[in-house]
């Protein structure tokens, strides 16, 4: 099969479509002919040599895919050749074929194309896990979702609105991204580039008003996060796009406000954890995707021969929601 290989991982990496062996499904796995995959920020980190795949995972980029079952392992009971499926991958999505454990695969709702289904797994499952499993967001609580225009951000806003009915605050760096956040259900939006979001939140909602913060930015937001979080509040770290080292940090508020500070990476979770997550996510969201209450937000589609351009588009922070690759 053909797959995109990263040549010379690091600052000067390039991408090349090459012939590699088609993976063979184990007894409890399915082989999927990929119709679409989608980009994640992690792909850029992996390409730059900063985020190696977990042990045993494919070295090919790509954390999600949608397509058709081409072949089912001998113990597979849930799927047959020709079924439309989508799901998470530990790697291997930038290719013509991938393998997936049968229990990790989800059926594509009839109203969704491959392109739309491929834009769901990584961002929605990450957002679901962070808001509900880790952050334990409750109805009528207030959640602050940073990078609201990101793939994960656009999913988190929708889940916080439609599954929990929380009060939602988001930050982003352009007016267009903030507008999308509001359309998806955010109640308050702040542009971190020209507003001090902590001052604005304290002024608008009162001091110590945020129950849960979903943060991808890290160091530059630490003090502002601490400034707005409530007593008994929770902060979930998913990434450190703005840096992960802080000088002269004052830890006292962690005790004074009895904070829970947590971090997570979905990719290196065990297969059984991911299967349980996929099951719980499907139970909570399937009918909402069918009714189009929840929807993947797709910014742009690229032919996979133009993946380099797609990566640059993401690197330049141009996307609101997801970038998908098709044509494999
Ligand atoms: N831990 C996990 O399990 C997990 C899983 C999935 C994703 N993630 C992480 O979650 C983040 C979002 O992923 P994604 O694929 O949805 O990303 P994405 O669509 O590429 O969006 C990232 C956005 O973050 C904003 N941003 C970038 N650098 C920033 C900075 N220094 N300060 C403030 N904002 C910044 C930019 O939007 P603006 O225009 O608003 O600046 C950018 O468009 C990534 O960091 C990714 O690695 C973690």
- 131 and 114 both lie in a single domain: no
- 39 and 162 both lie in a single domain: no
Q: Which atom of ligand 1 is nearest to the CA of 264?
A: 1
Cα of 28 from ligand 1 centre, angstroms: 34
The tokens 């090459």 sit on which residue?
Answer: 18
Cα of 147 from ligand 1 centre, angstroms: 6
> Is residue 307 very low, low, confident or very high in pLDDT (cuts 50, 70, 90)?
very high
Length in residues, the chain? 328
- 130 and 33 both lie in a single domain: no
In a domain, 281, yes or no: no
d(CA 255, CA 253): 5
Average pLDDT on 224-247 reads 97
Cα of 30 from ligand 1 centre, angstroms: 31
SS3 assignment, position 107: strand
Number of domains, the chain: 2
- 127 and 249 both lie in a single domain: yes
Q: Which atom of ligand 1 is nearest to the CA of 171?
A: 40
In a domain, 269, yes or no: no
- 303 and 207 both lie in a single domain: no
Mutation pick for ligand 1 pocket among 43, 45, 54, 241 (CB with most ligand atoms within 8 Å): 241
In a domain, 289, yes or no: no
Average pLDDT on 22-48 reads 97
Question: 114: part of which helix (H) or strand (E)?
Answer: helix 114-118
284 Cβ contact partners less than 8 Å away, ≥ 6 residues apart: 128, 132, 163
Structure tokens at 239: 């990434």
- 105 and 133 both lie in a single domain: no
The tokens 């392992």 sit on which residue?
Answer: 73
In a domain, 278, yes or no: no
pLDDT of residue 282: 97
Query: pLDDT tens for residues 71-105?
Result: 999 999 999 999 999 999 999 999 999 999 999 99
65-95 as b/e, with b when 16 or more CB fall inside 10 Å?
A: bbbbbbbbbeebeebeeebbbbbbbbbbbbb
Query: pLDDT tens for residues 171-201?
Result: 999 999 999 999 999 999 999 999 999 999 9
Looking at 263, 286, 315, the residue that finishes a domain is: 263
Mutation pick for ligand 1 pocket among 149, 152, 213 (CB with most ligand atoms within 8 Å): 152
Question: 37: part of which helix (H) or strand (E)?
Answer: strand 29-38
Q: Structure pTM? A: 0.98
What CATH number is given to the structural domain containing 317? 3.90.180.10
143 Cβ contact partners less than 8 Å away, ≥ 6 residues apart: 131, 135, 137, 156, 160, 166, 167, 168, 169, 210, 211, 212, 213, 214
Give Cα 5 to chain centroid, integer Å: 22
172 ligand 1 Cβ < 6 A: yes
Cα of 70 from ligand 1 centre, angstroms: 33
Within a 10 A sphere around the Cβ of 48, how many other Cβ atoms? 15
Cα of 241 from ligand 1 centre, angstroms: 7
- 110 and 128 both lie in a single domain: no
d(CA 35, CA 54): 24
In a domain, 315, yes or no: yes
Cα of 53 from ligand 1 centre, angstroms: 19
Mean residue pLDDT across the chain: 97
Cα of 263 from ligand 1 centre, angstroms: 15
Mutation pick for ligand 1 pocket among 150, 224, 322 (CB with most ligand atoms within 8 Å): 150
**CA-CA distances (angstroms) from residue 73 to 176, 279, 304, 318?**
46, 21, 28, 40
d(CA 318, CA 313): 6
pLDDT of residue 270: 94
Looking at 240, 263, 286, the residue that finishes a domain is: 263
Which long-range contacts link 292-295 to residues 24+ away (Cβ below 8 Å)? 292/111, 293/162, 294/124, 294/158, 294/159, 294/162, 295/116, 295/158
> Is residue 305 very low, low, confident or very high in pLDDT (cuts 50, 70, 90)?
very high
Query: pLDDT tens for residues 110-125?
Result: 999 999 999 999 999 9
- 259 and 146 both lie in a single domain: yes
- 136 and 246 both lie in a single domain: yes
Q: Which atom of ligand 1 is nearest to the CA of 172?
A: 40
- 42 and 26 both lie in a single domain: yes
Give Cα 303 to chain centroid, integer Å: 21
Within a 10 A sphere around the Cβ of 14, how many other Cβ atoms? 11
pLDDT of residue 121: 98
> Is residue 48 very low, low, confident or very high in pLDDT (cuts 50, 70, 90)?
very high
pLDDT of residue 326: 98
pLDDT of residue 124: 98
Looking at 263, 286, 306, the residue that finishes a domain is: 263
For 243, the domain range is 123-263
253 ligand 1 Cβ < 6 A: no
- 182 and 233 both lie in a single domain: yes
What CATH number is given to the structural domain containing 168? 3.40.50.720
d(CA 307, CA 27): 32
pLDDT of residue 253: 97
Range scoring the smallest mean pLDDT among 42-56, 67-81, 116-130, 193-207: 42-56
Within a 10 A sphere around the Cβ of 147, how many other Cβ atoms? 26
Give the distance between the most distant pair of CA atoms in the chain.
61
Mutation pick for ligand 1 pocket among 39, 41, 298 (CB with most ligand atoms within 8 Å): 41
Strands (E) across the chain are located at: 2-7, 14-19, 29-38, 64-72, 84-88, 97-101, 106-107, 142-145, 167-172, 188-191, 210-215, 229-237, 260-263, 298-303, 322-326
d(CA 97, CA 131): 32
In a domain, 205, yes or no: yes
In a domain, 251, yes or no: yes
> Is residue 22 very low, low, confident or very high in pLDDT (cuts 50, 70, 90)?
very high
177 ligand 1 Cβ < 6 A: yes
- 253 and 322 both lie in a single domain: no
In a domain, 188, yes or no: yes
């Amino acid at each position: 099969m053909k797959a995109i290989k990263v040549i010379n991982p690091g600052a000067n990496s390039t991408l090349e479509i090459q012939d590699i062996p088609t993976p063979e499904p184990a007894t409890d796995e399915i082989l999927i002919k990929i119709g679409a995959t989608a980009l994640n920020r992690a792909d850029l980190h992996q390409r730059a040599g900063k985020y190696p795949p977990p042990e045993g995972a494919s070295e090919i980029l790509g954390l999600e895919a949608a397509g058709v079952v081409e072949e089912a392992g001998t113990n597979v009971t849930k799927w047959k050749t020709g079924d439309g499926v989508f799901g998470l991958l530990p790697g291997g999505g930038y290719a013509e074929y991938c393998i997936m454990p049968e229990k990790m695969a989800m059926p594509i709702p009839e109203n969704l194309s491959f392109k739309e289904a491929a834009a769901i797994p990584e961002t929605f499952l990450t957002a679901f896990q962070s808001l509900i499993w880790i952050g334990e967001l409750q109805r009528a609580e207030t959640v602050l979702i940073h990078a609201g225009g990101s793939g994960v951000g656009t999913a988190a806003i929708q889940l916080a609105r439609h599954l929990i009915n929380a009060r939602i605050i988001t930050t982003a760096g352009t007016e267009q991204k903030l507008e999308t956040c509001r359309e998806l259900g955010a109640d308050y939006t702040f542009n971190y580039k020209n507003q001090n979001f902590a001052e604005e939140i304290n002024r608008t909602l009162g001091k110590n008003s945020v129950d849960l913060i979903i943060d991808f930015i890290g160091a530059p937001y630490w003090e502002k996060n601490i400034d707005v979080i409530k007593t008994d509040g929770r902060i979930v770290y998913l990434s450190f796009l703005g840096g992960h080292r802080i000088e002269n940090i004052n830890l006292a508020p962690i005790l004074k406000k009895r904070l829970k500070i947590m971090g997570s990476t979905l990719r290196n979770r065990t297969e059984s954890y991911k299967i349980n997550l996929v099951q719980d996510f499907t139970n909570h969201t399937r009918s909402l995707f069918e009714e189009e209450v929840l929807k993947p937000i797709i910014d742009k589609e690229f032919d996979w021969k133009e993946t380099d351009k797609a990566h640059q588009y993401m690197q330049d922070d141009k996307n609101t929601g997801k970038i998908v690759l098709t044509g494999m």
